Structure 1
């Protein structure tokens, strides 16, 4: 998806993109690299910058749960992030020889991808 012109990129000091700041009413809402809004109530500009700088990019290395087209939840890891789409793969638990499936989601991800702890149903994994 092409980003709306109103989405302003926010970068760390080293130039790494950490998200976007989007005008909303008299304030701003931050969006992470998966395209998810980080708050409902708008912030002032400095608080929006601080929110994304504090968020960083470490959350991308976390384990997530993905709701498949069949409605089941699977344990996945993020392997690619861009506004062209989000690449995911089964969490292989570090076993490089494990057969894994890959998945592609449109940007922004919506509610099909959640942190593992927030999955609303049992999550299938390669180890189960």
Structure 2
């Protein structure tokens, strides 16, 4: 049986992931509960999560369709809780716009962990 606890970044106390205790080692998991490395020492696991931080919240993701038919949809994360993530499709903006826009009316909430979200490469 493993134990999982929250990891708060030491600089500012921000919740940036989870650490799973496996035997005498520690496995870092990001806010989306994705494993971010092999079992390691605690200080190494904390450093991995500190480096990952909240970057995932500002990145584009691909949402796989529920039925497996069709193309993945480009989305942005709106909110992450311990049990769910809410994403919304990105909207193509006018030429010259810097910020990404999303369509909040088309938001989708997924239980965590989920295999339907993949980072855009």
2:53 matches 1:53 = no
Structure 1-normalised TM-score? Answer: 0.77
Structure 2-normalised TM-score? Answer: 0.81
Tell me which residue corresponds to 1:19: 17
Give secondary structure in 2 for the equivalent of 1:38.
coil
Bigger RCO (CA 8 Å, 6+ sep) = 1
Moved over 2 A (4+): 93-96
Unmatched 5+ residue regions in structure 2? 93-99
- The structural deviation recorded for 1:58 is 1.5
Aligned residues: 111
TM-superposition CA deviations, 1:33-74 (whole Å, max 9, x none): 0011112x2011110111111111112210000112132311
Tell me which residue corresponds to 2:82: 83
Unmatched 5+ residue regions in structure 1? 118-128
Give secondary structure in 1 for the equivalent of 2:3.
coil
